[in-house]
């Protein structure tokens, strides 16, 4: 299963010109996810982590389906 989220770009040139982009994540690759201090969610995959605009509760609901 795949879910579509909005990634917050924090590094590189993209963080200045377009700080957000839509991404699709394979849910079987997700190791864990948690809320950060700014009400965003960090999703940890096998090799890296992704910070998304959606709240922890929104991500949790998407993963339940």
For residue 60, the model assigns a pLDDT of 96
For residue 24, the model assigns a pLDDT of 97
For residue 38, the model assigns a pLDDT of 86
Across the chain, mean pLDDT equals: 90
d(CA 18, CA 31): 27
For residue 15, the model assigns a pLDDT of 55
d(CA 39, CA 54): 8
Whole-model pTM? 0.84
d(CA 58, CA 16): 26
d(CA 23, CA 21): 6
User: For the chain, which residues score pLDDT lower than 70?
Assistant: 11-18, 65
């Amino acid at each position: 299963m795949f879910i579509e989220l909005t990634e917050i770009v924090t590094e590189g040139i993209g963080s200045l010109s377009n700080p957000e982009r839509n991404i699709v994540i394979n849910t079987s690759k997700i190791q864990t996810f948690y809320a950060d201090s700014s009400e965003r969610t960090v999703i940890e995959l096998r090799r890296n982590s992704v910070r998304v605009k959606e709240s922890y509760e929104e991500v949790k609901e998407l993963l339940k389906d």
